[in-house]
Structure 1
Amino acid sequence: MEKFMIRISHSHKPSKTVEEQLQIFQSRGLIIEDEENAKEILSRISYYRFTAYTLSLKTNDKFYDNVTFNHIFRLYEFDLKFRLLLMELIEVVEVSMRTHISLVFAEKYDGMGYIDSANFYDSLKHADFINELEKLLKQSKDVFVKHYYDKYAGEFPIWVAIEVTTLGILSKLFKNLKKSDKNDIGMKFYSGLSGEFIASWLHAISNLRNICAHYGRIYNRNFPIAPKLFARDKKGIIDNNKVYAIVYNMKYLISDKKYWNSWVERLRSLIDEYSEVDLRLIGFHQNWYNLIKK
């Protein structure tokens, strides 16, 4: 087997000191209000990461008039806080979905029914799921996993096994359920939603979660996995590839109306705090608050 090797090339740009990075910004027309503060920021947030927030503020590497270093940092700061809010919401969706899948599946097939590929749409995808699940169980350090290995010879009922899955695996599991089972989950727990729509939303949410978990930029980002939209919602969503489309559809997956509206209020407070944010770059329009509230 060929070993992976890092190729060494001298064709890339040479590294720059923090002082040189600031000089580049200034040469392109960026206003630096406080150089010492800017140096401190660039010493803990890489130039490469920081410049991603400048993309909408310049043309041909020249900043628009009156764009400041603090403006860019505020966009970075907003994005960080927005990711934290999103991660909290995604956790609520994920924990609920684990519970709902296990309840419906165990009732219909019994606790070990998930082992049988006949209970799924695609047997090959089911085999992949079982392989991934076994790896996660073996790697797990959770006490409940050790308990089931010791006391039940490693037989994990679905309500136990599903607790070690990632959202990505959970999304694939849901998508591979039989159509009737997906629709049963939608009927029992999500006000009669079609399983096809839920599967699409979980896929998009999983992608968003992975980006958030690795501290990726949400602001001014196009997401490759666009969620399905109800016809009635299309007028209220200006760009299906921005984060708002995913957030909007999560409202259908949150059964606790009080929690959802509280989360939306915190999101509105965050947006109000950062006037520098261009709502269009996260897919929001001016009436987003009224549309997203339950």
Structure 2
Amino acid sequence: MRNMAGVLFYMEVFMPTPENVKPFKTYDEQISLLKSRGLIISDDDKAREILKRMNYYRLSAYSLTLRKDDVFYPGVSIEDIVALYDFDAKLRSIIFEYSSKVETTLRAYIAYYHAQKYGPLGYLNNQNFDNELNHSKFLSELFNNIHRSSDVFVIHHRENKEAIYPIWVAIEETTFGALSKMYKNMLVEDRNAIAREYYGLSREYVENFTQCASVARNISAHGARLYNRVKMRPSVDLPKRLKSVIDNDKPAAYLYAIFALLPDSEKYPMLTQIARAFRKYPFAKPQYLGLPENWFSLFESIQ
């Protein structure tokens, strides 16, 4: 009853009145609207399939750089918008791939270092971490994940090892976000030790970059738009050489955070894949990610 009362209250107070809600439009009406705003559509059937696949609202978001006051710039076609959509999808796949490599590397560093210093079960002791409450939250999430897991190595320890999980087993069940928080909650000396694996990055950079890499991976996994994204949170703690050329809340900054955390063998391949995406979709411009024109050589120079 209480939930129903809450729903009714929401409907009475917050539900928009019909005159404030845009009316439903069929695909043909959406096509007519886009044409009336100057978008070139030469094949209505093709445009209809695009709208079915993309959703008008999503399509509209990718056209923001191609119009002003709802009027498209001369020569812009629906295929141009689709090219931006496809570029963004490719960029998300690159971010997902390389942020996953960052996650795997950090997981390996933490598991090895922590087991070596505190033993296989030292991660259970809150005295080995900076904040007891954050440690408790981490363990709660971790063991919920372990309880739900059907991974072979978890089942083996559940059935044959009295459900005792060494850190190198347990840590495989952490999300990237939880792993980032675990690192941030380790004792300062331990964070410093692991940061040294990143050749020149301080623990403050590693903390910030891993959090940002986790956010970027989540955005990519859920298919959210990165192209022309106005602002991202948290801000990236960029090195001095980048602060004057890249805004710390743009996708470009997040690309750098991932790049900086990668093993050296993965850095150039990541840059190459991004450059290849720009070549394949030349209608996409680096500036709408917050990247300067010389982004490739700039990133390379800060390795």
What range describes the TM-score normalised by the shorter chain of this pair?
over 0.9
Cα distance, 1:104 vs. partner?
1.0
- CA offsets, 1:40-82, max 9 Å, x none? 1111111111111011222221222222111111000100111
User: 2-side partners of 1:241 and 1:159: how far apart?
Assistant: 34
Unaligned runs of 5+ in 1: none
Equivalent residue number for residue 38 of structure 1: 47
- Greater shift, 89-98 or 49-58, is seen at 49-58
SS of aligned partner of 2:271: helix
Is 1:205 matched with 2:213? yes
Equivalent residue number for residue 128 of structure 2: 119
Match among 90, 94, 97 for residue 85 of structure 1: 94
User: 2-side partners of 1:54 and 1:270: how far apart?
Assistant: 19
Equivalent residue number for residue 96 of structure 1: 105
Cα RMSD after superposing both structures: 1.7
Equivalent residue number for residue 291 of structure 2: 284
Give the alignment of 1:59-208 within 5 angstroms. 59-187=68-196, 189-208=197-216
Cα distance, 1:2 vs. partner?
3.7
SS of aligned partner of 1:217: coil
Cα distance, 1:124 vs. partner?
0.5
SS of aligned partner of 1:44: helix
Preserved CA contact (<8 Å) 1:183 1:192: no
- CA offsets, 1:77-134, max 9 Å, x none? 1001111111110111000110001111111111111111111111111110011011
User: 2-side partners of 1:272 and 1:47: how far apart?
Assistant: 27
Preserved CA contact (<8 Å) 1:120 1:126: yes
Equivalent residue number for residue 3 of structure 2: 3
Unaligned runs of 5+ in 2: none
How many aligned residue pairs are there? Answer: 291
Normalised to the residue count of structure 2, the TM-score between the two structures is 0.91
User: 1-side partners of 2:131 and 2:63: how far apart?
Assistant: 45
Cα distance, 1:249 vs. partner?
2.7
Cα distance, 1:34 vs. partner?
2.1
SS of aligned partner of 1:265: helix
Equivalent residue number for residue 260 of structure 2: 252
User: 2-side partners of 1:241 and 1:215: how far apart?
Assistant: 19
Cα distance, 1:192 vs. partner?
4.0
Cα distance, 1:9 vs. partner?
6.0
Preserved CA contact (<8 Å) 2:259 2:270: no
User: 2-side partners of 1:135 and 1:204: how far apart?
Assistant: 24
User: 2-side partners of 1:278 and 1:255: how far apart?
Assistant: 27
Runs of 4+ that moved beyond 4 A: 4-10
Cα distance, 1:233 vs. partner?
2.9
Cα distance, 1:10 vs. partner?
5.8
